[in-house]
Homo-oligomer: A and B are copies of this chain.
Amino acid sequence: MEFAGSHILSVDQFERPDVERIFEVADRMEPYAHRRRITRVLEGAILGSMFFEPSTRTRVSFGSAFNLLGGEVRETTGFEQSAIAKGESLYDTARVLSGYSDVIAMRHPTPGSVAEFAGASRVPVINGGDGSNEHPSQALLDLYTIRSELATRGRSIEQLRIAMVGDLRFGRTVHSLSKLLALFPGVQVVLISPRELRMPEGIVEHLRASGHSVLESEELESSIAHVDIVYSTRIQEERFQSQEEADLYRGRFRLNQSIYTANCEPNTVIMHPLPRDSRDNARELDDDLNDNPNLAIFRQADNGVLVRMALFTLVLDVVDQVDREARDVNWYTARRF
Is there contact, CB below 8 Å, between A330 and B41?
Answer: yes
Q: At the interface with chain B, which of A11-19, A64-72, A149-157?
A: A64-72
A46-B67 CB under 8 A given contacts A332-B317, A335-B122: yes
Is there contact, CB below 8 Å, between A81 and B67?
Answer: no
A60 touches which one: B42, B48, B92 (CB < 8 A)? B48
Within 8 A of B (CB), among A95-133: 95-97, 99-102, 122-124
Report the Cα distance A316→B321, complex, angstroms: 28
**For this complex, into which size category does the number of interface residues on chain A fall?**
35 or more
Q: How many chain copies does the complex carry?
A: 3
Residue of B nearest to A70 (CB): B44
Residue of B nearest to A61 (CB): B100
Report the Cα distance A75→B282, complex, angstroms: 30
A274 to chain B, nearest CB (A): 6
Chain B proximity mask over A305-326: 1 for CB below 8 Å, otherwise 0 = 1000000000111100100000
A217 to chain B, nearest CB (A): 26
Report the Cα distance A67→B72, complex, angstroms: 7
Is there contact, CB below 8 Å, between B73 and A74?
Answer: yes
Report the Cα distance A70→B316, complex, angstroms: 19
Report the Cα distance A277→B89, complex, angstroms: 8
* Residues from chain B with Cβ under 8 Å of A92 in the complex: 274-276, 278
Residue of B nearest to A54 (CB): B81
* Residues from chain B with Cβ under 8 Å of A95 in the complex: 298, 301
Is there contact, CB below 8 Å, between B305 and A331?
Answer: no
Please list 27 pairs of residues, one from A and one from B, whose beta carbons are closer than 8 Å in the complex, sorted by A's number.
Answer: A40-B44, A41-B331, A44-B70, A44-B329, A48-B60, A54-B81, A54-B82, A56-B79, A56-B83, A57-B83, A57-B96, A60-B100, A63-B74, A64-B100, A64-B101, A67-B72, A73-B74, A83-B274, A87-B277, A87-B278, A88-B275, A99-B298, A99-B302, A99-B335, A102-B333, A123-B335, A321-B330
